[in-house]
Amino acid sequence: MTGGTAHAPVLETPRLVLRPMAAEDAEVHHRLWRERDPRVPAHRRPDEHGRPTVADLSARLRDASATHETDPAAPALLTVVLRETSRTLGYCGLSTQGPGGEAEPELAFELLRAFHGRGLGAECASAVVGLARTQGYPRLWATVWDWNEPSRRVLARLGFREVDRRDAGHAVSLTTVLALRDE
């Protein structure tokens, strides 16, 4: 971690900067929604009316940013930016939506397809794991669809191990965990 505001960290890697999310990131988030694999559940893809729209996502990002300002130590997702070009690639960070809640957050990451296959997912995820370790979390969780081999490889490379499989009807959801302290 190299800086940040009193409200959120800024992480830097050799190729990336991970910074607090902003409403201006909504266009990239909208592209992520449109690019999602058709096997992703319908509630995580645009509906027949194109919702969520860029404006919808901008409002969500603004709300998330305001919430994080009230509790800067809370787990948060960060915008991933390519250092060389300042281009926004996606997001990576910690979420309280997983099985461990706020005490043991979930690692989440998603990058635009144009940036897949370059090791950038592993690079940003590794930086977030390092942050979680310094913040004292005992474990991190991550869920991934069984068909999502690239994300599964990132998680395996970071040391996550599978602890549960659940049939979600359309695919199998894998739950993985990474111990950040000796257990």
pLDDT, one tens digit for every residue, the chain (183 residues)? 444 434 467 999 999 999 999 999 999 988 888 888 877 776 778 778 878 777 777 887 887 776 666 566 678 999 999 999 999 999 999 999 888 888 999 999 999 999 999 999 999 999 999 999 999 999 999 999 999 999 999 999 999 999 999 998 888 999 999 999 875
* CA atoms within 13 A of residue 58's CA, in its CB half-sphere: 6
Contact 68, 8 (CB under 8 A): yes
pLDDT in the model for residue 21 = 92
pLDDT in the model for residue 56 = 73
pLDDT in the model for residue 3 = 45
Residue 158 within any structural domain of the chain: no
- Please count the structural domains in the chain: 1
Residue 27 within any structural domain of the chain: yes
Residue 33 within any structural domain of the chain: yes
Residue 50 within any structural domain of the chain: yes
Residue 78 within any structural domain of the chain: yes
pLDDT in the model for residue 49 = 83
Neighbours of 20 (CB within 10 A): 22
Residue 181 within any structural domain of the chain: no
174-179: long-range pairs with CB below 8 Å, 24+: 174/143, 174/144, 174/145, 174/146, 175/99, 175/141, 175/142, 175/143, 176/141, 176/142, 176/143, 176/144, 177/139, 177/140, 177/141, 177/142, 178/107, 178/129, 178/139, 178/140, 178/141, 178/142, 179/138, 179/139
Q: What is the CATH number of the domain that holds 13?
A: 3.40.630.30
Question: Which structural domain, as residue segments, surrounds residue 113?
Answer: 3-143
Residue 18 within any structural domain of the chain: yes
pLDDT in the model for residue 5 = 39
pLDDT in the model for residue 8 = 64
pLDDT in the model for residue 47 = 79
Residue 177 within any structural domain of the chain: no
- pTM, two decimals, is 0.87
